């Protein structure tokens, strides 16, 4: 069902709604007369807040409920933070559009008692809050003298926990803080040499039904080709390694002339082993660059590390 109306499925978290309202407003601007409705709902990932994400073991924690709405024709599109969207989508659905990326970097947010510090100047034993195995593994690799503590909840809830003194700092996505008007809370952006970001971080992915040409035509007005090329390379890299968003896989992508350069990382949970390399190739075939990098890291031992991680975080039967 498309044409003069468009139905959007979205998570109901504050950040998700900010992102969805941005998509709605941009589509309304691009297609005058288009009537857009939003159906907001809680996903499994929003409901389970007392268990670390990695322990739940589901790659579609923040997407399944939204996808179900499209599959039963109760919604035409779903708006996702692209880093939350699995690389293998349900039959009948597709990634229809990738929007222009915000800064994909990880951000350091400090408790006020450490104002002015950087990661490398925080005192030994500082408690670092993160729910991401990717951030955890990389930071353990570079800063083994810190304590790491899981933190769940939406961004506002996490900041409240930080401000209460439960953590010395948090590691959050710079893009999410910026979209929520909380960019002033960022004390420093973490250099890619320390923490490669998540696949797709900073971009929005708009999912739709395969073959829904009218909807595809509508949402393509938001497509940002440079971001799309970078993210397609990143997603191909992740897909080839068979990892979801809750494994220690990080990336960084950039353009150099007419080439796309993709850096990738796989680390063990304890941070002791970290494999990192890069591949470059022509812009016209970004997925081939991602596949090539995945094969390169596998040849260096990434497969063995990932098998250990999958076994460690796989939920008990």
Residues forming the active site: 84
Is 253 strand, coil or helix? strand
First-residue to last-residue Cα distance in the chain:
40
Strands 147-149 and 127-129: parallel
DSSP E strand stretches across 115-242 = 127-129, 147-149, 169-173, 188-189, 204-209
Q: Which residues pair with 267 in a beta bridge?
A: 274
CB atoms within 10 A of CB 296: 16
Q: Which residues pair with 106 in a beta bridge?
A: 173
Q: In angstroms, what CA-CA distances link 78 with 92, 104, 128?
A: 14, 21, 33
Using the structure block, give the residue that is written with the tokens 């999410």. 176
* Measured distance CA(131)–CA(84) in Å, rounded: 13
Q: Are 294 and 266 in contact (CB under 8 A)?
A: no
Q: Are 39 and 63 in contact (CB under 8 A)?
A: no
């Amino acid at each position: 069902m498309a044409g003069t109306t468009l139905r959007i499925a979205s998570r109901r978290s504050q950040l998700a709604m900010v992102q969805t309202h941005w998509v709605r407003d941009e589509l309304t601007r691009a297609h005058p007369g288009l009537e857009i409705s939003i159906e907001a709902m809680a996903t499994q990932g929003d409901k389970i807040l007392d268990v670390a994400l990695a322990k739940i073991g589901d790659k579609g924690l923040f997407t399944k409920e939204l996808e179900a709405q499209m599959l039963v024709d109760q919604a035409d599109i779903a708006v996702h933070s692209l880093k939350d969207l699995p690389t293998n989508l349900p039959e009948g659905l597709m990634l229809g559009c990738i929007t222009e990326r915000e800064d994909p970097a990880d951000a350091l947010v400090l408790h006020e008692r450490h104002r002015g510090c950087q990661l490398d100047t925080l005192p030994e034993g500082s408690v670092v809050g993160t729910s991401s195995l990717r951030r955890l593994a990389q930071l353990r690799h570079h800063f083994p003298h810190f304590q790491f503590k899981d933190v769940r909840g939406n961004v506002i809830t996490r900041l409240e926990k930080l401000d209460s003194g439960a953590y010395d700092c948090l590691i959050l996505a710079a893009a999410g803080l910026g979209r929520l008007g909380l960019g002033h809370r960022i004390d420093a952006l973490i250099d890619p040499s320390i923490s490669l970001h998540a696949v797709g971080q900073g971009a929005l992915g708009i999912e739709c039904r395969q073959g829904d040409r009218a909807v595809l035509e509508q949402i393509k007005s938001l497509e940002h080709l440079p971001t799309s090329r970078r993210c397609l390379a990143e997603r191909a890299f992740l897909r080839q390694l068979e990892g979801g968003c809750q494994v220690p896989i990080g990336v960084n992508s950039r353009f150099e002339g007419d080439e796309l350069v993709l850096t990738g990382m796989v680390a063990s949970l304890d941070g002791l082993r970290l494999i990192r390399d890069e591949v470059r190739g022509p812009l016209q075939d970004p997925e081939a660059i991602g596949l090539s990098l995945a094969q390169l890291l596998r040849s260096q031992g990434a497969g063995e590390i990932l098998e250990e991680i999958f076994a460690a975080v796989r939920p008990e039967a």
